[in-house]
């Protein structure tokens, strides 16, 4: 984008950047963890455990924290969710475990399960203890396509079970959205890579980065060379807005920008407009809106075509955006871009409403000026994620792969999980569960 529309003349100081991107939920110290763990009722039929997609025994790991056994606590967590440290930071706990906590009432507040989980898993990572051992080698080889939470969860469980795993990752680093796609203020101190390094320390997992399925390697080849294949390549393409000229300068891919932000050594090198508009209602939309404010944008407006109840982002995330000065406008959809010299300088929006349960346009319009517009309206499979023959064979629905309860695809010997499948929510914790379930079924199949 042109420098005249950037905030180059009002860059923040290094201290301001550090403050703006500081840990949004600071960790508990030893005393705080002891006090918080003592608040747990240790329910026998714990609703928090039921609400967790990976079914961590939450009362058990909290009890171990209370007794000072942090390694034992971490073992409880990581046995079910190998990405326990990242999930402690990024899970929407207010909608999952903490939302189900019996102390979550008008008169009380839930136990801080997420922070307690972080307390235990961070201690484990700092210790360097491997924790899990490999079973005797099975002689079987499994290919995992995608080095994100689903792929690495599957790889670690398969390695534990004695299989040799090769992880094919398109990017230069493993981690997937944990490394590239989550707001910077949620994941400090290189935690995503530290957790990946710890996970790989079990052995039996070979990482092959810079390998994109459908381009550098084909699914048919993987099926020939390996005893099983697990697909976990995520969703790399952003959905289109459905309006003309949406690919002109001034319109940005929110996912790509967040990736650049996460990998940037110098935050002042990132372009950021004075007036930013974000189109979308999910976690990515919230993350880009808050972070552009933190980078120095004067005004950030988030447009969502429906109401707050339909928003993909949680109530906590919505409040977070508003507390950072983001203007959230519901019942608003983009109608056309306003161009000047071939560059987007604004957007005409149209009010929407529900009529008999159906979203309709009202015809009432307004033009909003903008220096940057971000598309954050969900993702779809990248065009080259699968070669033509694989697309013809694999069953899909709504742009995602179909799988059964064991994460088997329609193609024999091929499993899938994570964001590229349509059986669960697009959450890190759900992806971890997909990988775990697939690994258990792959192991059962290979030993049959």
**CATH at 196:** 3.50.50.60
Same domain (yes/no): 386, 342: no
Predicted pLDDT of residue 385: 58
Same domain (yes/no): 114, 201: no
Residue 5 domain-assigned (yes or no): no
Confidence grade of residue 439 (pLDDT, cut at 50, 70, 90): very high
Predicted pLDDT of residue 8: 58
Q: How far is CA 261 from CA 90, 132, 168, 242, 417, in A?
A: 17, 34, 24, 26, 27
Question: What pTM was computed for the model?
Answer: 0.92
Is residue 160 over pLDDT 90?
Answer: yes
**pLDDT (mean) for 44-59:** 96
Predicted pLDDT of residue 215: 86
Same domain (yes/no): 368, 269: yes
Residue 1 domain-assigned (yes or no): no
Is residue 1 over pLDDT 50?
Answer: no
Residue 436 domain-assigned (yes or no): yes
273, burial (CB in 10 Å: exposed 0-12, middle 13-18, buried 19+) = buried
Same domain (yes/no): 255, 352: yes
417 with 407: CB under 8 angstroms? yes
Predicted pLDDT of residue 397: 72
Q: Check which CATH number belongs to the domain holding 107 and give it.
A: 1.10.1060.10
97 with 48: CB under 8 angstroms? yes
CA atoms of 50 and 53, how far apart (whole Å): 8
User: Which residues, at least 6 apart from 290, have a Cβ–Cβ distance to it below 8 Å?
Assistant: 183, 185, 320, 321, 324, 326
Tell me how many degrees the CA angle 187-417-306 measures, rounded to the nearest 5. Answer: 70
What pLDDT digit, counting tens, does each position of 228-255 carry? Answer: 999 998 886 677 787 888 889 999 999 9
Same domain (yes/no): 387, 429: yes
Task: Tell me how many helices (H) and strands (E) the chain has.
Answer: 17, 17
What pLDDT digit, counting tens, does each position of 7-48 carry? Answer: 556 689 999 999 999 999 999 999 999 999 999 999 999 999
What pLDDT digit, counting tens, does each position of 339-372 carry? Answer: 999 999 999 999 999 998 899 999 999 999 999 9
Domain count, the chain: 3
Q: How far is CA 161 from CA 54, 83, 432, in A?
A: 19, 18, 17
Q: At what angle do helices 70-80 and 113-127 cross, to 10 degrees?
A: 100
8 φ, ψ to 5°?
Answer: -55, -40
Is residue 187 over pLDDT 80?
Answer: yes
Same domain (yes/no): 295, 370: yes
Predicted pLDDT of residue 426: 76
Is residue 267 over pLDDT 50?
Answer: yes
User: Which residues, at least 6 apart from 273, have a Cβ–Cβ distance to it below 8 Å?
Assistant: 1, 5, 6, 7, 292, 297, 370, 371, 372
CA atoms of 397 and 255, how far apart (whole Å): 23
Same domain (yes/no): 254, 208: no
What pLDDT digit, counting tens, does each position of 393-412 carry? Answer: 677 776 788 899 999 999 99
> What 3-state DSSP class applies to 166?
strand
84 with 121: CB under 8 angstroms? yes
**pLDDT (mean) for 178-199:** 95
Predicted pLDDT of residue 386: 65
**pLDDT (mean) for 291-320:** 93
| Mean pLDDT taken over the chain | 92
301 with 288: CB under 8 angstroms? no
Is residue 384 over pLDDT 60?
Answer: no
Is residue 62 over pLDDT 70?
Answer: yes
101 φ, ψ to 5°?
Answer: -60, 135
Residue 297 domain-assigned (yes or no): yes
Share of the chain residues as helix, strand and coil, in percent rounded to the nearest 5: 40, 20, 40
Domain boundary among 357, 378, 399: 378
Same domain (yes/no): 284, 398: no
CA atoms of 370 and 276, how far apart (whole Å): 6
Predicted pLDDT of residue 278: 97
């Amino acid at each position: 984008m042109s420098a005249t529309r950037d905030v180059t003349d009002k860059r923040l100081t290094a201290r301001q950047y550090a403050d703006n991107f500081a840990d949004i939920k600071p960790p508990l110290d030893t005393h705080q963890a002891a006090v918080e763990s003592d608040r747990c009722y240790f329910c026998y039929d714990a609703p928090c455990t039921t609400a967790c997609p990976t079914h961590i025994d939450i009362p058990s790991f909290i009890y171990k924290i209370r007794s000072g056994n942090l390694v034992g606590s971490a073992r409880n967590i990581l046995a079910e969710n190998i990405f326990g440290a990242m999930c402690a930071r990024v899970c929407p706990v207010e909608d999952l475990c903490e939302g189900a906590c019996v102390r979550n009432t008008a008169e009380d507040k839930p136990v801080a399960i997420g922070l307690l989980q972080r307390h235990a898993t961070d201690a484990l990572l700092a210790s360097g203890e491997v924790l899990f051992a490999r079973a005797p080698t099975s002689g079987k080889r499994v290919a995992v396509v995608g080095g994100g939470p689903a792929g690495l969860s599957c790889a670690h469980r398969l390695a534990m079970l004695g299989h040799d795993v090769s992880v094919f990752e398109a990017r230069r680093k493993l981690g997937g959205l944990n490394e590239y796609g989550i707001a910077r203020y949620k994941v400090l101190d290189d935690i995503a890579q530290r957790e990946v390094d710890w996970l790989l320390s079990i052995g039996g997992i070979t990482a092959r980065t810079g390998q994109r399925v459908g381009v550098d390697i084909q699914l048919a080849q993987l099926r020939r060379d390996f005893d099983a294949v697990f697909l976990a390549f995520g969703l790399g393409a952003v959905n289109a807005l459905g309006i003309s000229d949406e690919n002109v300068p001034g319109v940005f891919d929110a996912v790509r920008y967040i990736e650049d932000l996460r990998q940037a050594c110098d935050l002042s090198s990132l372009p950021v407009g004075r007036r930013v508009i974000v189109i979308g209602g999910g976690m990515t939309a919230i993350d880009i809106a808050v972070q552009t404010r933190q980078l120095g944008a004067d005004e950030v407006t988030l447009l969502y075509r429906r109401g707050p109840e339909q928003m993909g982002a949680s109530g906590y995330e919505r409040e977070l955006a508003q507390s950072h000065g983001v203007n959230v406008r519901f019942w608003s959809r983009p109608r056309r871009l306003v161009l000047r010299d071939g560059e987007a300088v604004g957007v005409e929006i149209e009010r929407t409403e529900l009529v008999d349960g159906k979203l309709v346009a009202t015809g009432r319009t307004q033009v909003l000026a903008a220096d940057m517009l971000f598309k954050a309206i969900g993702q779809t499979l990248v065009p080259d994620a699968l070669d033509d023959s694989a697309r013809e064979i694999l069953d899909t629905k709504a742009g995602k792969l179909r799988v059964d309860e064991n994460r088997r695809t329609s193609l024999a010997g091929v499993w899938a999980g994570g964001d590229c499948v349509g059986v669960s929510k697009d959450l890190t914790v759900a992806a971890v569960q997909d990988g775990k379930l697939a690994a258990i079924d792959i192991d059962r199949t290979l030993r049959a």
